[in-house]
């Protein structure tokens, strides 16, 4: 009945399903264990009418015009510039840390000296990873780097990843730079927007094709069998001779042959408040206070300024545990050398199965932003199918 089975209805799986159905006229079955499409990008209206992101805030930003235009076929965009504040020493300062934060936190003479030295060392407009800034020999810059590291970075990272920053790959630490500018926007990409009618509508449009069938609320192993010795696939008890595109946990696909890979999960605590707005901007990070890492207020994202109340979410990182319903959603692979070596075993083992394609954050053990994930899916389609 099907040419392709795709496991996972997030961006990777949905984009590939759309391309295969519309450009190759292939029959595709998309399977997802959740009751909805969209993966972690799923959004919906809460009981108070606020459009919330069920799995934490998703802000689309990219310099890739091809990706922006591709998704533009499936949504209208609403321009949106993301702003984040960090609660440090009783003040809310711009995050990532920039020259305006320096002015807020330090006496004028010191702030002026630090600003001049940063611009002289790196140039205005540059982004410097915090771990690189800490290697400076200049005493004042070293003081600044240690201040930022201890006040903004180290505790947040410890909460987010459950380990020290030095134990995390530069692929992650490089995502938290110091901005030598006065641009308070969290992103500086050319295209920044949110879907006018929400992310879920994008996925509905991507998957709205007669060649695409959806099977939700279904663990793929309950309807499929994959013999990891022979590579044979079956669907609903009958042999399946087509292609499998897999976007989930690579260790799960191969029955934990080389052991479980560690992931981080998240717990979300939603609250609706009878006030117009709760905080000054979309997201406020709490690197040193409380057990949660950040609070996000969704009305800023959705633009629903006329609603009388507001909905916020507090975000609590935690270890992933596939046997605990409170912790069984993996959000991020953990990027350490040991985990990379273990993943490499799975990656090498997977090469023998030419009819299986691994795509996605969990399947490829890589951190993809949304635009990166769409670009990757389009790339895989062009190169392989």
Mean pLDDT of the chain: 94
> What are the pLDDT digits (tens) for 337-380?
888 899 999 999 999 999 999 999 999 999 899 999 999 999 99
Alpha-carbon span 96 to 92, nearest angstrom: 12
Alpha-carbon span 281 to 185, nearest angstrom: 11
Domain final residue pick, 319, 348, 367? 319
For 203, phi then psi, to 5°, come to -65, -35
Q: Does 184 fall in a domain? A: no
Alpha-carbon span 348 to 223, nearest angstrom: 26
- Cα Dmax for the chain: 75
Domain final residue pick, 150, 179, 208? 179
Q: Are residues 169 and 93 in the same domain?
A: yes
Strand partners, 61: 192
Q: Does 189 fall in a domain? A: no
Q: Does 253 fall in a domain? A: yes
CB crowding 126-147: b at 16 or more within 10 Å, else e:
eebebbebbebeeeebeebbeb
Q: Are residues 209 and 249 in the same domain?
A: yes
Alpha-carbon span 125 to 188, nearest angstrom: 10
In the structure, what pLDDT confidence band is assigned to residue 177 with cuts at 50, 70 and 90? confident
Q: Are residues 359 and 250 in the same domain?
A: yes
Upstream peptide bond of 96 is cis (omega within 30 degrees of 0): yes
pLDDT score recorded for residue 149:
86
Q: What CATH number is given to the structural domain containing 76? A: 3.40.50.720
Q: Are residues 18 and 77 in the same domain?
A: yes
CB crowding 7-39: b at 16 or more within 10 Å, else e:
bbbbbbbbbbbbbbbeeeebebbbbbbbeebbb
> What are the pLDDT digits (tens) for 261-286?
999 999 999 999 999 999 999 999 99
Strand partners, 231: none
Q: Are residues 214 and 92 in the same domain?
A: no
pLDDT score recorded for residue 170:
62
> What are the pLDDT digits (tens) for 114-128?
999 999 999 999 999
pLDDT score recorded for residue 369:
94
Q: Are residues 257 and 344 in the same domain?
A: yes
For 381, phi then psi, to 5°, come to -60, -50
Q: Does 185 fall in a domain? A: no
pLDDT score recorded for residue 163:
75
Q: Does 144 fall in a domain? A: yes
Alpha-carbon span 71 to 202, nearest angstrom: 8
Q: Are residues 234 and 373 in the same domain?
A: yes
> What are the pLDDT digits (tens) for 17-76?
999 999 999 999 999 999 999 999 999 999 999 999 999 999 999 999 999 999 999 999
Q: Are residues 252 and 202 in the same domain?
A: yes
Q: Are residues 268 and 351 in the same domain?
A: no
Q: Does 170 fall in a domain? A: yes
Q: Are residues 250 and 270 in the same domain?
A: no
Q: Are residues 204 and 132 in the same domain?
A: no
What range does the domain containing 369 cover?
4-82+194-261+333-384
Cα Rg for the chain, rounded, in angstroms? Answer: 22
Alpha-carbon span 20 to 14, nearest angstrom: 10
Q: Are residues 235 and 349 in the same domain?
A: yes
Q: Are 343 and 365 in contact (CB under 8 A)?
A: yes
Q: How many domains does the chain have?
A: 3
pLDDT at 173 over 90: no
């Amino acid at each position: 009945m099907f040419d392709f089975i795709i496991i996972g209805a997030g961006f990777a799986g949905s984009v590939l399903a759309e391309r295969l159905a519309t450009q190759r006229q292939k029959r595709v079955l998309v399977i997802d264990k959740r009751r909805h499409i969209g993966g972690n990008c799923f959004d919906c209206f809460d009981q108070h009418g606020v459009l919330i992101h069920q799995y934490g805030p998703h802000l689309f930003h990219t310099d890739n015009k091809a990706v922006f235009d591709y998704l533009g076929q499936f949504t209208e965009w609403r321009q949106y510039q993301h702003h984040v504040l960090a609660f440090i020493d009783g003040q809310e300062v711009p995050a990532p840390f920039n020259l305006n934060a320096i002015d807020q936190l330090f006496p004028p003479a010191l702030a002026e000296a630090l600003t001049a030295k940063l611009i002289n060392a790196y140039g205005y407009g540059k982004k410097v990873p915090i771990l690189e800034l800490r290697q400076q020999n200049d005493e004042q810059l070293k003081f600044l780097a240690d201040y930022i590291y201890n006040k903004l970075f180290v505790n947040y990272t410890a909460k987010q990843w459950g380990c020290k920053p030095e134990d995390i790959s530069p692929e992650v630490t490089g995502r938290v730079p110091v901005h030598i500018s006065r641009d308070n926007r969290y992103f500086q990409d050319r295209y920044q927007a949110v879907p006018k009618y929400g992310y879920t509508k994008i996925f509905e449009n991507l998957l709205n094709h007669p060649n695409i069938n959806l099977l939700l609320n279904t663990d793929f192993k309950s309807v499929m069998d994959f013999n990891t010795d022979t590579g044979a696939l079956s669907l609903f008890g009958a042999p399946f001779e087509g292609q499998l595109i897999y976007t989930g946990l690579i260790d799960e696909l191969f029955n934990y042959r080389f052991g479980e890979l560690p992931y981080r999960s998240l717990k979300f605590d939603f609250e609706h408040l009878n006030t117009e707005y709760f905080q000054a901007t979309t997201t406020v990070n709490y690197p040193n206070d409380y057990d949660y890492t950040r609070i996000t207020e969704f009305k800023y994202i959705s633009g629903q300024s006329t609603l009388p109340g507001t909905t916020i979410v507090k975000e609590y990182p935690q270890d992933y545990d596939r046997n605990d319903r409170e912790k069984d959603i993996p959000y991020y692979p953990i990027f350490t050398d040991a985990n990379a070596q273990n993943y490499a075993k799975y990656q090498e083992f997977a090469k023998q199965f030419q009819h299986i394609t691994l795509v996605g954050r969990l399947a490829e053990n890589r951190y993809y932003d949304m635009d990166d994930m769409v670009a990757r899916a389009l790339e895989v389609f062009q190169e392989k199918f």
